[in-house]
Amino acid sequence: MANAFLFFLLLIFSSNITFENIHACNQSERSSLLSFALTLSSPQLNWTSADCCNWEGITCNQGGWITHLQLPSKGLKLKEGIFLSSSLGNLTHLTHLNLSHNSLYGSLDQTEFFLSMNDLEILDLSNNLLFGVLPSSQPFSHIQMVDLSNNRLHGAVSSSFFQEAWNLTSFNVSNNTFSGPIPSSICHPSSSSLRHLDFSFNKFNGSISSGLGKCSKLQVFRAGYNYLSGSLPEDIFNSTTLEEISLLRNSLYGAVSDRISNLNNLTTLDLSYNQLSGVLPLHLGKLSKLKHILLDFNHLEGSFPFSLMNCTNLVELRMGANNLGGDISMLNFSKLSQLSKLDLRQNNFFGILPRSLYSCKFLKAIRVAYNNIEIKIEPEIRSLKSLSFLSLGMNKRLTNIKESMRILMGCKRLAVLSLASSFLGEEMPNSVEMADFNGFQNLLILDLNSCNLSGIIPSWLSKLKKLLVLDLNNNRITGSIPSWLGTLPRLQTLMMEFNQLSGEFPKELCTLPMVVSGQTAAQVGRIYLELPIYYSPGAHAKLLQYNYIFYTPFIHLGHNCLSGNIPIEIGQLQLLHQLDLSANNFSGNIPDQISNLKYIEVLDLSMNDLSGKIPASFTGLNFLSRFNVSYNNLGGPIPSSTQLQSFNASAFEGNLKLCGAPLPNKCETTTGVDTPDISTQDVDTKKHQIPWFYISVALGFITGFWGVCGPLVLMRKWRYVYYHFLDNVQDRFHVMIAKRMASMKRRFG
Ligand SMILES: *[C@@H]1O[C@H](CO)[C@@H](O)[C@H](O)[C@H]1NC(C)=O
Ligand SMILES: *[C@@H]1O[C@H](CO)[C@@H](O)[C@H](O)[C@H]1NC(C)=O
Ligand SMILES: *[C@@H]1O[C@H](CO)[C@@H](O)[C@H](O)[C@H]1NC(C)=O
Ligand SMILES: *[C@@H]1O[C@H](CO)[C@@H](O)[C@H](O)[C@H]1NC(C)=O
Ligand SMILES: *[C@@H]1O[C@H](CO)[C@@H](O)[C@H](O)[C@H]1NC(C)=O
Ligand SMILES: *[C@@H]1O[C@H](CO)[C@@H](O)[C@H](O)[C@H]1NC(C)=O
Ligand SMILES: *[C@@H]1O[C@H](CO)[C@@H](O)[C@H](O)[C@H]1NC(C)=O
Ligand SMILES: *[C@@H]1O[C@H](CO)[C@@H](O)[C@H](O)[C@H]1NC(C)=O
Ligand SMILES: *[C@@H]1O[C@H](CO)[C@@H](O)[C@H](O)[C@H]1NC(C)=O
Ligand SMILES: *[C@@H]1O[C@H](CO)[C@@H](O)[C@H](O)[C@H]1NC(C)=O
Ligand SMILES: *[C@@H]1O[C@H](CO)[C@@H](O)[C@H](O)[C@H]1NC(C)=O
Ligand SMILES: *[C@@H]1O[C@H](CO)[C@@H](O)[C@H](O)[C@H]1NC(C)=O
């Protein structure tokens, strides 16, 4: 028995040796590998034994030729000043080369690199630091997969690169800087086996010429995030095997052809952020496998294709920011049992929001803001157990805030609630009315912007322990700012501009944990949202899109009736990015401590009764991009810094004793410039002069006042940023203003 066992062991041992002998690697290949290893600074590869076929990452064939070199995610780094070695080009029998997810640096246009890799089938160099251009032609007749994604390659992708690539199934060059046209002739007339094409995140330009229709097996075509223009190539609709078309973020124009309904297997259609126009194909809904249809931010018009309501597999339906219209009550959602995200924001839908929407049990996000839809919040909405994003504002006739809030409190997952411009003129539900309050425990963003709500800031808000953003801009809220706001553990964005708040700036607000401590802010981190939110940094700036709540430590309290001193404790809010206290009645000096706010980008203290000097320490505020202290009682020289002098004189005007650049009046250098004393009369003649209705709406700048207690001054260009945190839509802005002005005319006659 023991002998038999020994014999068995011997057998294995000897057979192993024979095996190794057969595989003994070719010495010249061994030296090619070694010279590659020599170029690496880290890590040390354990490539020491005689037979290179046993080395890590190496596989040989029967003849001892190296066929596989696979060292993905090994942290490979080249020595300083050394490029990716061309020695690998000598491995003439290589079929699999996978060096993805390393830090390899170098250019591929050293033609030697691929020189003799005639047998290559799999080439994966993705996620490295490769640059240079692709060789225009390669003898890659056996190649099946090319992944060069996430590098820094540039230049054109020449069609001749694929000339002999009969068996290519997948080609991925996403996230490089390739330019020129998409090589549409990549598809060979006879033998194309291409299934996956990914050109996204490059600089490809020009129109997509025809040719892709010849790829008779194409399943995925991605070329999003490029500079492609022209219309969708007609012949792509001949590729009936297509399952995904993603061409988002280009400049494609023209209509979506009716022939798209040929693509029976299509599951994903993403054409968002282009300039597509025209009416959507009536029979789009023939695409019965559709799961994701994203057409946001185009110029599509006409009626919504009702046939889509037959696509029972739909998960995501996003058509926001178009000119689509129609009676939304005609849509019957009851077949869309998989629907998770619905975004029809900023279109021309009207009619009553259909109840059938509540039958989509998996809905996580609903956004229909900026339409003319008649909304009523029905108790059935509570049956949407996953609902976390709800944006219904800027529509018609949403009334009864108390009842609405009571219902919505039952949506336990709700994280984003936007009801802007609703409940016009109602009263903020007070804490008695919200007595059995146990809802909104997951609320992150509460947006009641432009609701013209009266009442005070209710204490039930103090129970929203996860609240990050509170947007109550443009209401008629009275009373003082409660000190408990400063204790909300996650509050980072407080928007209460254009209200009638009075009293002082509470010292306690200076202890907001998220703004005081970077550690707290970091702990909260980025929070993913089911739908993106938009933010425009300026009136004419491009709309930015965020799929998460970004860190916006802002306090906007402008255009209220706040008074007293700006507390010196303000210096504790050291992470604050924006502070707007404009158009209030703040008096006293500007606290020196504001210069502790090292990251401050927007500081607006204009139109108050502040006196004294502009603190010299303001010269240390390096991130200021908007600054305004105009129309106060400030005096003395404007401190000199590259930052402060870069603003227009308008940022300082209306302070009679203020002097120095950029104001035209020079400072008297002889007498030590002292804090000037300006009589309040001066101030009064300067302010309170121009009745609100002269304020020009036509200028397109925000001009509304709900209250009459803040100093009324002709609004100037600095006041152009209308801030609606969640759905910042600049071009709808004038509609809002017009509405508001009309309502004020009624109120003030
Ligand atoms: C080793 O490879 C070289 C070419 O790289 C070839 O000339 C030589 O014949 C090979 N040796 C053996 C033993 O196969
Ligand atoms: C690769 O092959 C070329 C010639 O074919 C030779 O000059 C070069 O030295 C080889 N490189 C290595 C590292 O073996
Ligand atoms: C290096 O590889 C050999 C076999 O090829 C092995 O015996 C040895 O333990 C390895 N050394 C290290 C440090 O991994
Ligand atoms: C390369 O290796 C990585 C890591 O194992 C793997 O995920 C990837 O699929 C490989 N590439 C190819 C083209 O097979
Ligand atoms: C292409 O693939 C087929 C099937 O796998 C194979 O028979 C043929 O040899 C391959 N052609 C080339 C040029 O590699
Ligand atoms: C593109 O690659 C860079 C690294 O080169 C990476 O940081 C970035 O996230 C990638 N972008 C995308 C969209 O994958
Ligand atoms: C291409 O590569 C990128 C990054 O590696 C990856 O995210 C993407 O899914 C790939 N495309 C296809 C079609 O597989
Ligand atoms: C594509 O971009 C290049 C420069 O990046 C330019 O020379 C060329 O004219 C552009 N092509 C088209 C069709 O716009
Ligand atoms: C698409 O297919 C139709 C037939 O189904 C054919 O008549 C037409 O020429 C094809 N279009 C292109 C551009 O290949
Ligand atoms: C569509 O997909 C099904 C199932 O995946 C497949 O059997 C069928 O061949 C595909 N049709 C086309 C035209 O590719
Ligand atoms: C939806 O499908 C049904 C049956 O399959 C069909 O009768 C109806 O016309 C379709 N509706 C639309 C709007 O296409
Ligand atoms: C919606 O369609 C379902 C069947 O799919 C039907 O039972 C229901 O009555 C329809 N609802 C409306 C409002 O048409």
Inside any domain, residue 391: no
Ligand 11 atom with least separation from CA of 283: 14
Q: Which residue matches tokens 């598809």?
A: 187
Q: What is the pLDDT of residue 224?
A: 97
Statement: residue 736 has pLDDT above 80: no
Best CA proximity match to 555, nearest among 637, 464, 474, 473:
473
205 Cβ closer than 6 Å to some ligand 8 atom: yes
Q: State the pLDDT at residue 538.
A: 58
Ligand 2 contact via 26 beta carbon (within 6 Å): no
Q: Which residue ranges have their beta carbon within 6 Å of ligand 3? A: 46, 49, 54
Task: From 157, 178, 179, 250, give the residue whose CB has the most ligand 8 atoms within 8 Å, as the site to mutate.
Answer: 179
Does residue 432 surpass a pLDDT of 90?
Answer: no
In a domain, 607, yes or no: yes
Range 169-183 average pLDDT: 95
Q: Which of 65-74, 255-264, 477-486, 522-531 has the least mean pLDDT?
A: 522-531
Sorting pLDDT into bands at 50, 70 and 90, what band is 689? very low
Residue 376 CB less than 6 A away from ligand 12? no
**Separation of alpha carbons 237 and 259, rounded Å:** 6
For residue 161, the model assigns a pLDDT of: 78
For the stretch 195-222, pLDDT in tens is 999 999 999 999 998 888 888 899 999 9
Q: Which residue owns the Cα nearest ligand 7 atom 2?
A: 149
Distance CA 274, CA 225 (A): 10
Q: What average pLDDT is seen over the chain?
A: 83
In a domain, 91, yes or no: no
Q: Is 356 in the pocket of ligand 12 (CB under 6 A)?
A: yes
Distance CA 578, CA 580 (A): 6
Q: What is the pLDDT of residue 190?
A: 55
The Cα 279–Cα 154 span in angstroms is: 37
pLDDT at 682 over 90: no
% of the chain surpassing 90 pLDDT: 57
Q: Assess if residue 466 is contained within a domain.
A: no
- From the CB of residue 500, how many other CB atoms can be counted at a distance below 10 Å? 19
* Residue 404 covered by a domain: no
Question: Quick check: 533 and 726 in contact, CB under 8 A?
Answer: yes
CATH of the domain at 304: 3.80.10.10
Q: Is the pLDDT reported for residue 102 higher than 80?
A: yes
pLDDT higher for 159 or 316?
A: 316
For residue 363, give the 3-state DSSP assignment. Answer: coil
* DSSP conformational letter for 359: G
Q: Over 80: is that where the pLDDT of 63 sits?
A: yes
- pLDDT the model gives residue 490: 93
Our measurement of the distance from residue 697's CA atom to the centroid of its chain's CA atoms, rounded to an integer in Å, reads 31
What per-residue confidence (pLDDT) applies to 686? 35
Measured CA to CA, the distance from residue 540 to residue 251 in angstroms comes to 19
- Co-location of 617 and 489 in the same domain: yes
Residue 59 in 3-state DSSP? strand
Q: Tell me which range, 161-175, 225-239, 527-541, is most confidently predicted by mean pLDDT.
A: 225-239
Whose CA is closest to atom 14 on ligand 10?
241
pLDDT tens digits along 365-399: 999 999 999 999 999 999 999 999 999 998 988 99
Which tens digits make up the pLDDT trace of 302-361?
999 999 999 999 999 999 999 999 999 999 999 999 999 999 999 999 999 999 999 999
Kindly tell me if the per-residue pLDDT of 690 is higher than 80: no
Query: Quick one: pLDDT at residue 49?
Result: 87
Q: Is residue 443 situated within a structural domain?
A: no
Position 429 in a domain: no
80 pLDDT band, cuts 50/70/90, is confident
3-state secondary structure of 708: coil
d(CA 685, CA 710): 15
- CB-neighbour burial class of residue 642 (10 A; exposed 0-12, middle 13-18, buried 19+): exposed
Q: How far apart are CA 727 and CA 261, in angstroms?
A: 33
pTM for the whole structure: 0.85
Beta bridge partners, 68, equal 59, 96
Cβ of 691: how many Cβ atoms within 10 Å? Answer: 10
pLDDT tens digits, 583-633: 999 999 999 999 999 999 899 999 999 999 999 999 888 888 889 999 999
Q: CB–CB of 552/577 below 8 Å? A: yes
Choose one of 328, 343, 374: the last residue of a domain. Answer: 374
pLDDT: which is higher, 192 or 563 = 563
Q: Are residues 493 and 619 in the same domain?
A: yes
Mean pLDDT to the nearest integer, 89-117: 83
Sign of CA dihedral 87, 89, 93, 96: positive
Q: Read off the tokens for 347.
A: 């279109």
The number of folded domains in the chain is 2
The pLDDT value recorded for residue 13 is 42
Both 492 and 605 in one domain: the answer is: yes
Q: Give the domain range for residue 650.
A: 478-659
Domain boundary among 659, 688, 715: 659
Q: Has residue 260 been placed in a domain?
A: yes
| Residue 26 half-sphere exposure toward CB, CA atoms < 13 A | 17
User: Both 367 and 487 in a single domain?
Assistant: no
Cα-to-centroid distance, 336 and ligand 12 (Å): 11
Ordered DSSP codes for 27-49: HHHHHHHHHHHHTEEES-----S
Q: Which of 339, 374, 409 is the last residue of a domain?
A: 374
Residue 122, number of CB atoms within 10 A of its CB: 18
**What pLDDT is recorded for position 541?**
64
From CA 489, how far away is CA 476, in angstroms rounded?
Answer: 26
Per-residue confidence at 3, pLDDT binned at 50, 70, 90?
Answer: low
